[in-house]
Amino acid sequence: MQGKIALEEHFAMDDTVKDSAGFAPAQDWVELKARLLDIHERRLAEMDAHGIELMVLSLNAPAVQAIPDRNRALDLSRRANDFLAEQVARRPDRFQGLAALPMQDPEDAARELDRCVSTLGFRGALVNGFSELAGTEHAIYYDRKEFWPFWAEAERLGAPFYLHPRNPLAKDAAIYEGHRWLLGPSWAFGQETAVHALRLMGSGLFDAYPRLQIILGHMGEGLPYAMWRVDNHNKWMRTQNAYPAKRKIAEYFRENFYITTSGNFRTQALIDAMLEIGADRILFSADWPFENIDHAADWFDTATISEGDRRKIGRDNARALFGLGEITIQSAAEQKTSSDPMEETREHLVRNRRA
């Protein structure tokens, strides 16, 4: 499929690239590092070769979220966002931006989100899970009440918030001791992020800010598969398991969440997600440079789903969610693919009549 839009696609700066070093075997680090630091060369060539028109870029992980000092977290966010804005300005037809945010201070985060959306033209934010904060040994999760003014601002700005994985803190990772292979994308990333997302759903956040939209990668971090069981059990436990939110957890999942295909190129998983959250809330992504663009695109382009769903997931849902219409119109015309499903039929009829 031509004209795909991909939105969990990372870059690094010199002072964040080392955060990704532990995720590649030594012999692959040279390659991964080069991919992270590149934007306009190899990346663009990969996009051209595999039908990706637009990447919505974000900083690598955990970066800002792992900086316990508030001021340093804010400083890195600003520098990363300014750098990204410059890159987007060079090719706004091929790259757009998601903001890095210093969630260590909810007010700073809200102000930086406003700056990124209102001044730099970013499309939303991507945050790498919980934040570390000096003076507390606990991971800070964003269902806490002090974040609600931040969420109000995200809703006001219409800015989707991508909740991206990171590993749990060592003190919270006893279950993985001696099983390093379970850390990172193989398991711990998804577990960590799914629980964070469930905390948001149960907190009542989406009753207060019903237009808020959260994006999860990796086909929803396991949640489509697990959602029914969460609600089914809580229904039975009623009073003991009461949570602040008003509705069933799955209702928030279906109304306040989008999921992407990043790093989970499996048709069986996609079809389950389509049955649970619906094709309107699934978005194509690769997870470059941690995953290969050809793996993502070759799989997605031939996955056994309808062509209408492929267009939605590959392009149209992202255009609607991020308001990308005005950017992509020109190349959509070039590709001779229309969002109007009748256009090809009309062209065909006209050609037949002429013939």
Number of residues that bind ligand GRE (CB under 6 A): 10
Q: How far is the CB of 107 from Zn ion (least distance, A)?
A: 27
Q: In angstroms, what is the minimal distance from the CB of 337 to Zn ion?
A: 28
Written as six digits, the tokens of 97 are 């931006």
Q: Where are the beta strands (DSSP E) in the chain?
A: 4-11, 52-59, 95-97, 125-127, 161-163, 214-216, 257-260, 282-283
Residues 20-59 touching ligand GRE, rule: CB under 6 A, are 20, 23
* CA-closest candidate to residue 110, choices 145, 151, 71, 143: 151
Q: Which of 19, 105, 287, 316 is catalytic?
A: 287
Q: Which residues contact 341 (CB under 8 A, 6 or more apart)?
A: 308
Phi, psi of 154 (to 5 degrees): -60, -40
Alpha-carbon distance of 243 to 246, in angstroms, equals 8
Please, what is the minimum distance in Å from the beta carbon of residue 158 to ligand GRE? Answer: 25
23 interacts with, out of Zn ion, ligand GRE, none, CB within 5 to 8 A per kind? ligand GRE
Q: Give yes or no for residue 129 binding ligand GRE (CB under 6 A).
A: no
DSSP letter string, 185-205: GGTHHHHHHHHHHHHHHHTTH
Q: According to the binding rule CB under 5 A, does residue 287 interact with Zn ion?
A: yes
Minimum CB separation from ligand GRE for residue 109, in Å?
20
**Residue 100: CB minimum distance to ligand GRE, A:** 13
Rounded Cα distance, 17 and 62, in Å: 10
Angstrom distances, CA of residue 12 to CA of 60, 74, 83, 212, 278: 5, 17, 10, 28, 33
Among 75-83, 167-175, 282-290, 299-307, which window interacts with Zn ion (CB under 5 A)?
282-290
Q: In what helix (H) or strand (E) does residue 95 lie, and over which residues does it extend?
A: strand 95-97
Smallest gap, in angstroms, from Cβ of residue 19 to ligand GRE?
8
Helix axes 267-276, 249-256, angle to 10 degrees: 110
Which residue in 321, 291, 288, 338 sits closest to 43, CA to CA?
288
Residue 56 backbone phi and psi in degrees, to 5: -95, 110
Nearer CB in complex with ligand GRE: 126/205:
126
Q: Does 221 bind Zn ion (CB under 5 A)?
A: no
Tokens of 297: 């695109």
Residues composing the chain: 355
Taking the least distance from each CB to ligand GRE, the nearer of 224 and 263 is 263
Least Å from the CB of residue 188 to Zn ion: 14
Q: Residue from 42, 184, 255, 331 that binds ligand GRE (CB under 6 A)? A: 184
- Residue 287 appears among annotated catalytic residues: yes
Contact mark string toward ligand GRE, 234..273, x via CB under 6 A: -----------------------------x----------
- Residue 202 binds what, of Zn ion, ligand GRE, none (CB under 5 to 8 Å, by partner type)? none
Cα distances from 100 to residues 12, 167, 310, in angstroms, run 12, 18, 29
Q: Which is nearer to ligand GRE, 186 or 345 (CB)?
A: 186
Q: Tell me whether residue 143 or residue 287 sits nearer to Zn ion (CB atom).
A: 287
221 binds ligand GRE per the rule CB under 6 A: no
- In 147-267, the DSSP E strands lie at 161-163, 214-216, 257-260
Q: Amino acid letter at 292? A: N
Closer residue to ligand GRE in complex, CB, 61/230: 61
Rounded to whole angstroms, how far apart are CA atoms 310 and 17? Answer: 33
Please list every residue from 276 through 315 that binds ligand GRE, using CB under 6 A.
Answer: 287, 290
Residue 10 or 315 with smaller CB distance to ligand GRE = 10
Instruction: Summarize as ranges the residues that interact with Zn ion (CB under 5 A).
Output: 8, 287
Q: Active-site residue numbers?
A: 287
Give the interface with ligand GRE as residue ranges (CB under 6 A): 10, 20, 23, 60-61, 184-185, 263, 287, 290
